[in-house]
Amino acid sequence: MTTSITRHFASITNGRWGPRQVHYRRVGSGPVVLCLHQSPLSSRDMLATMERWKTHFTCIAPDTPGFGLSDPLGVDRAEASDFAEAVIEFMDALGIERAAVYGFHTGAMITGALAAAYPERIVCAAANGYVIMTEPDRQDFIEHYLPPLQPKWDGSHLTWLWARMREQLIFFPWYRKSTAARLSFDLPPAEALHNALLDFMRAGDHYRVGYRAAFTMRSDLALRQTKTPILVTAADTDVLSADLNNVRHPASCVTVARGGAADQTLDLCRDYIKRHKPPKMPKSTVNSGLRGRLWQDYVEVDGGQLRIRRNADASGRTILILHEAGGSTESIESMAAGFIGHRPVLAINLPGHGESDNTLPRGKVTVGGFAKAIEVALQNLGIDEVDVIGVGGSAFIALELASLAKNRVRNAVMLSAMLIDDALRDELMTHYTPEIKPLWYGGHLVEAWYVVRDQSLFWPWFRQKRSNIIHQDAELDPSRVQRRLLDLFRSHGMWRHAHQATFAYPWQKKLAKTRETVLLAAPSGDPLKPAAAQAASEMSHLMFVELPREPRDWARVLLQKLS
């Protein structure tokens, strides 16, 4: 039995919505149960349920399209029936012929749609928190519940987002400030609300597509038309428990039952599913990936899993790209995409970054520790030879990896390496990585926004002076700033340790000792470019190349150097 929850991707190559990937979590063995989460969250919302059920079932919890790490369907509007069909495509990708399905809130609506439309694929269903709306309520929710979420240049949207997440725990619906709409809940700690907000940020404005599908679904008709056994329930504390009274004239295979406490409700659903004896999970299929794009996967290493993005359309030596400290594979996606069709390309989220587990040993975080983790990942992926490109702080990881795995690394590129003097190093170690902790009123979001935004305006970001202006086009598009902000937050503090390890790295000694040829690179306008050019002029085994401003053009230049 698999006792630890693991993360995976399934590739759908020829579905209705084109090539796409679905991220999912898995645990347990035996009968297979699909676990569908609520909006605007992800399969992370199913963790407690999966832990509770893992001794009974193989629990498979996908991120709904457009949520978590799953690709969206690419449409502005979708119905619950569309999301149900997307689940069937996911089942096909995993080779699952029939399964039980459990859903919570929005997931319960998709569960109802699955039960009604696919009796040949769904053995039974359990819908926990099923919405049955009157037409006036439906129109009211569609009009008021789903305002657009668009990043603003000043970060003000984050204040709204925090308030929106907090308010839905005080009123339902969140926009009705009346005694009748008041909820009776303890507000969660700031850390818990912050983690839910990160799922909201992952979904972005797409959150409206999932919610709207639940609101527009004729859920009452689904219960009348279904031929699949389905349990409709809700915990007594669930605001949607009142909707159980709205079930009218359901099909004979529909069971409506109140759940009691939250744990009792889960046990009720578990026992209902067990009675219907879903089949066992078939042998796992391999994530085959997608052509023409960077596709996602996980690689097992000691201590957990690292998330990767890769493409193998071309032959030759693999280009390995390591993102900057505090970043993710999304932050180097444009550069990585430039190698597609020319070389195999692999980008690895560093331990503790970008949905990778923190697999580093306990104790001090070091550049060498990151390099060892990457070396293990390459071994487990069966990749024998690479050209490695390290960006920012990862430039030193690339250098360490070249020393650690001499037979595996053919060429090392240090891109925008922090070749800094001792005085600046000390200043960076003191000021560059402030500790940003969730605050009950959400003030940490605006602080982090300006830290990330000013990184594109000043070097270093905390010296907001004329002499520290970065003289190149700043990456100030609000959507791109938001993506970097999400990278910072989902590192859960590792960004601070990674940067500190970078600042402490004795780069002068390491570069002087290395006997391999190392390519230093930096784009025009990069404040770190002069130091790289100077280092190359002083050490004969170092070369320097200036890159174009746009990351999408870097591959063309680097490929000429990486023979």
Predicted local distance difference test score (pLDDT) of residue 39: 96
User: Quick one: what percent of the chain has pLDDT higher than 70?
Assistant: 100
pLDDT of residue 1 exceeding 70, the answer is no
pTM of the model: 0.96
Predicted local distance difference test score (pLDDT) of residue 474: 75
- Which tens digits make up the pLDDT trace of 278-292? 999 998 778 889 999
Residue 242 within any structural domain of the chain = yes
- Which tens digits make up the pLDDT trace of 481-510? 999 999 999 999 999 999 999 999 999 999
pLDDT of residue 559 exceeding 60, the answer is yes
Residue with the two structure tokens 């910072």: 488
Instruction: In whole angstroms, give the CA distance from residue 14 to residue 37.
Output: 25
Residue 156 within any structural domain of the chain = no
**Number of independent structural domains in the chain:** 2
Predicted local distance difference test score (pLDDT) of residue 94: 96
- Which tens digits make up the pLDDT trace of 250-301? 999 999 999 999 999 999 999 999 999 999 999 877 888 999 999 999 999 9
- Do 313 and 262 share a structural domain? no
- Do 216 and 122 share a structural domain? yes
> C-alpha distances in angstroms, 553 versus 30, 95, 142, 259, 493?
49, 40, 43, 58, 32
Predicted local distance difference test score (pLDDT) of residue 475: 83
Residue 478 within any structural domain of the chain = yes
Rounded to the nearest integer, the mean pLDDT of the chain is: 96
Q: Which of 226, 242, 275 is the last residue of a domain?
A: 275
Predicted local distance difference test score (pLDDT) of residue 3: 84
Predicted local distance difference test score (pLDDT) of residue 335: 96
Two structure tokens written together for 219? 């859920």
Residue 426 within any structural domain of the chain = yes
- Do 416 and 304 share a structural domain? yes
- Do 237 and 316 share a structural domain? no
Predicted local distance difference test score (pLDDT) of residue 516: 80
pLDDT of residue 2 exceeding 80, the answer is no
User: Quick one: what percent of the chain has pLDDT higher than 90?
Assistant: 95
- Which tens digits make up the pLDDT trace of 324-360? 999 999 999 999 999 999 999 999 999 999 999 999 9
Instruction: In whole angstroms, give the CA distance from residue 165 to residue 445.
Output: 13
Domain limits for position 332: 295-561
Q: Report the SS3 class of residue 180.
A: coil
Number of H helices, E strands in the chain: 19, 16
- Which tens digits make up the pLDDT trace of 360-415? 998 899 999 999 999 999 999 999 999 999 999 999 999 999 999 999 999 999 99
Predicted local distance difference test score (pLDDT) of residue 399: 97
Report the CATH number at residue 311: 3.40.50.1820
Residue 280 within any structural domain of the chain = no
